[in-house]
Structure 1
Amino acid sequence: FYELDGEWYHEICRNAIKRGGQRGEHLRANIDRASVHKFRQFRYIRFLNKRARKRLNTKLFKVQPYPKPQTVKTGLKEIG
């Protein structure tokens, strides 16, 4: 994400010239003033069918506990 003049922009606004619109043009014109923010992403799977967990591809996904707020770190500082 980018932050420019108090407004937040997704990365697609910088890259997609046709779909970026006026906000994208403003971001591309002032990209040198924009500050970049990177956030950690977590993906969770909640099985509706409890037996489906047995068929999970453990080579691609490993079961981990839900992260506690005190252990989650953002790109800038620790939360919690």
Structure 2
Amino acid sequence: MNIKILYFAALRDAVGRAEESFVLPSGVATVGDLRAFLADRGDKWDALAEGRNVRAARNQRMAGPTDPVGPGDEIAFFPPVTGG
């Protein structure tokens, strides 16, 4: 199953890329599973580790860790944003 992953702001800087196309391995069925899988890449990917303040969106709508990931989805990860 192919998906597109986007990284924004400081998270983009940390992982060194703005986006990637990705084939999900079996067992990765939710946004939380995906985040954990990416964080397990280690090194710079620790920016996505559990406990880090990271938000997610699925197909341009805010998503929680239990939201499913399906074929063709666009998943975005970004730090919280404040206005002022």
TM range (shorter): under 0.3
- TM-score (normalised: structure 2): 0.21
Of structures 1 and 2, the one scoring higher in RCO (CA 8 A, sep 6+) is 2
More strand by share: 2
- TM-score (normalised: structure 1): 0.22
Bigger CA radius of gyration:
1
